[in-house]
Structure 1
């Protein structure tokens, strides 16, 4: 099931709160993604005092089911990479009693964080999310 509009937000390094929380269509989001000042915000972060930094420059999209995709830029201006974070509820295995007993448990906030991605990888993740192709997202991220 594809979503026509999802909740969009931005994370800026020197701002504690999310910016531009609103609904965006896929086309509106692609435009925002392409024009987002990735390097400028990374430079702002690198030049700031550590105590003033709240997060890495990121774009985030969330649906009503608690699933979220986020892309962040990290590193140095001449050597940076993107992280793709995919938050979703899943059933996981857990061991107890020194690994003798394994059981399933529901993790409503499971998040995979995949480093060493490109800007295009991040856009691909968002497009899959907008299309509701969570199976492909699960395979890749």
Structure 2
């Protein structure tokens, strides 16, 4: 079973922590035990903040899923970020010239997601179902 690079971001810690390789089952355990709301509470009361509580996984190519919780304790949501290379159209000179632009670190950031959506994104990434990920979070 493939192991993916895993890391966490805590609002009061300046660096990513727990960078390691995890199997799907190990990740499920980490996801289920991650203190989303408790860390959000810490974030909301912090004087010095390093980021929203987040979990991240990445494959060997650097593609990955990152999920963050944002909002307040009574009304919060999750952001699902899908990082992968892509080519898209860009324009310059006031739209007179369009060209294909390759972005090796393109990241879709989709707000308004639930914890269940976040879990689904991670599981699809472990299963390498990039087509479904692209449909929902691309």
**Alpha-carbon shift at residue 113 of structure 1 (Å):** 0.5
**Structure 2 unaligned residues grouped into runs of 5+:** none
| TM-score for both structures, normalised by structure 2 | 0.96
Q: Which whole-Å CA distance do the structure 2 matches of 1:29 and 1:103 have between them?
A: 40
When structure 1 is superposed on structure 2, of 72-81 and 95-104 the one drifting more is 95-104
Secondary structure in 1 matching 2:12: coil
**Structure 1 unaligned residues grouped into runs of 5+:** none
Q: Which structure would you say has the larger RCO, counting Cα contacts within 8 Å and 6 or more residues apart?
A: 1
| TM-score for both structures, normalised by structure 1 | 0.94
**Alpha-carbon shift at residue 97 of structure 1 (Å):** 2.0
Q: Which whole-Å CA distance do the structure 2 matches of 1:96 and 1:18 have between them?
A: 37
Aligned to 1:91: 87
- Matching of residues 49-88 of structure 1 within 5 Å: 49=47, 52-88=48-84
Q: Which whole-Å CA distance do the structure 1 matches of 2:75 and 2:92 have between them?
A: 42
2:39 corresponds to 1:34: no
Partner residue of 1:124 out of 105, 120, 126: 120
Q: Which whole-Å CA distance do the structure 2 matches of 1:96 and 1:115 have between them?
A: 29
RMSD, aligned α-carbons: 0.9
Aligned to 1:138: 134
Q: Which whole-Å CA distance do the structure 2 matches of 1:97 and 1:46 have between them?
A: 43
Q: Which whole-Å CA distance do the structure 2 matches of 1:97 and 1:43 have between them?
A: 46
Q: Which whole-Å CA distance do the structure 2 matches of 1:98 and 1:60 have between them?
A: 37
Aligned to 1:11: 9
Secondary structure in 2 matching 1:94: strand
Runs of 4+ in 1 over 2 A off after TM superposition: none
Contact 1:6–1:23, Cα closer than 8 Å, also in 2: yes
**Alpha-carbon shift at residue 32 of structure 1 (Å):** 0.7
Contact 1:66–1:89, Cα closer than 8 Å, also in 2: no
